[in-house]
Amino acid sequence: MNIPVDKFRDWLVNKNLKWRSIKEYTYYFNKFTTREPFYTQESINRFLSDKTSMNRVARGFLLNLKKFILVNYKELNISREMRMDISEIELPQLSGRVEQKLINPLTEEQILEIEKNIPHEKGRLQLLMSYYGGLRLGELLKIKVISFNWEEWKKDINNIGECRVHGKGEKEGIAFFPPDLMRRIAKFIRSGTYPSPSSYLFIKSKEDPKDLSVSNKAFPWRKVLRDAAIKAGIMKFDEEGGVIPETNVTPHKLRHSWGYHLKNVKKVDIRDIQEILRHSSISTTERYTQVDKSQTKEILSKDVFSLTAREEH
């Protein structure tokens, strides 16, 4: 990272921190910037997983460095897009779990309004699949042409489709998509140039996403989503040009919004939401509750996909 240590130290001094804290944060600054070229979710996770950095002081340093970057991004020649990416980074707690934030969910109508402002079908599909499938960012990027149950679905294209996804720790799960969205995905694939059925749906690369930085590969999609959310009037900025946190739209917010919609709008049972969103557990008891896929599809068919993804004409 090309950030002068003296500027960071001066910023800490102006915050009236104790000299001991400034000394410790400067130590971790030098340690972090020597190892990591960028401030990303992956880099801070790696940093805090090191036994020598697995402490509250190191975490406090990362929090202050994040604030320093967000405040001084113009002086540091950091783009607005990169600043937004940094603002979305969550600092893991010392237990290793990511600190949970309250998220203002998007409504289904807002999702479709964002769709109207995406200029190409690839981006529109990424939006709708992320939302209606409750996809994590990594799950979306790793979807292949062959990931769908095409043979079974083609027997009745008015049925809900299935897509095999790989989530945290490469854990395999099933995402469900409404019929109209499945038809659009099929049309998108037919109009594309995919070398083989094992080609990735959205990544035009010979490299395996498992070996790539998710943040780097996801940058084009993040930008498309962000621009569309701004044009739709959903994402707003404060007087200093920073994103108003409550209005921020991120790929993961789409997944949270779908979960909120299922629970609070459609009143879907929490155990069924666990299956739909592929959560590992809700509690010790519910961890052992099994929900059959046919039952899940029946639940989704009961007016859950109310504002179904419109077919492209």
Residues 66 and 48: their CA atoms lie apart, in Å, by 14
Confidence at residue 132, expressed as pLDDT on a 0 to 100 scale: 98
Fold adopted by 108-301 = hpI Integrase; Chain A (1.10.443)
- Residue numbers of the chain with a pLDDT score lower than 50: 96-100, 283-291
Pair 144, 195: CB distance under 8 Å: no
Closest by Cα among 234, 301, 290, 295 to 266: 301
Pair 166, 153: CB distance under 8 Å: no
Pair 141, 203: CB distance under 8 Å: yes
Confidence at residue 2, expressed as pLDDT on a 0 to 100 scale: 79
Q: Tell me the pLDDT tens digit for each residue of 154-197.
A: 999 999 999 999 976 678 999 999 999 999 999 999 998 898 99
Domain ranges within the chain, ordered by starting residue: 5-87, 108-301
Max intra-chain CA distance, the chain: 70
What does the DSSP assignment read for 194-236?
A: -SSTTSBSS---SS-GGGS-HHHHTHHHHHHHHHHHHHTT-S-
Count, residues in the chain: 313
Residues 256 and 88: their CA atoms lie apart, in Å, by 14
Fold adopted by 5-87 = DNA polymerase; domain 1 (1.10.150)
pTM over 0.75: no
Confidence at residue 94, expressed as pLDDT on a 0 to 100 scale: 63
What does the DSSP assignment read for 232-274?
A: TT-S-B-TTS-B-GGG---HHHHHHHHHHIIIIIS---HHHHH
Pair 5, 26: CB distance under 8 Å: yes
Confidence at residue 292, expressed as pLDDT on a 0 to 100 scale: 53
Confidence at residue 233, expressed as pLDDT on a 0 to 100 scale: 96
Confidence at residue 129, expressed as pLDDT on a 0 to 100 scale: 98
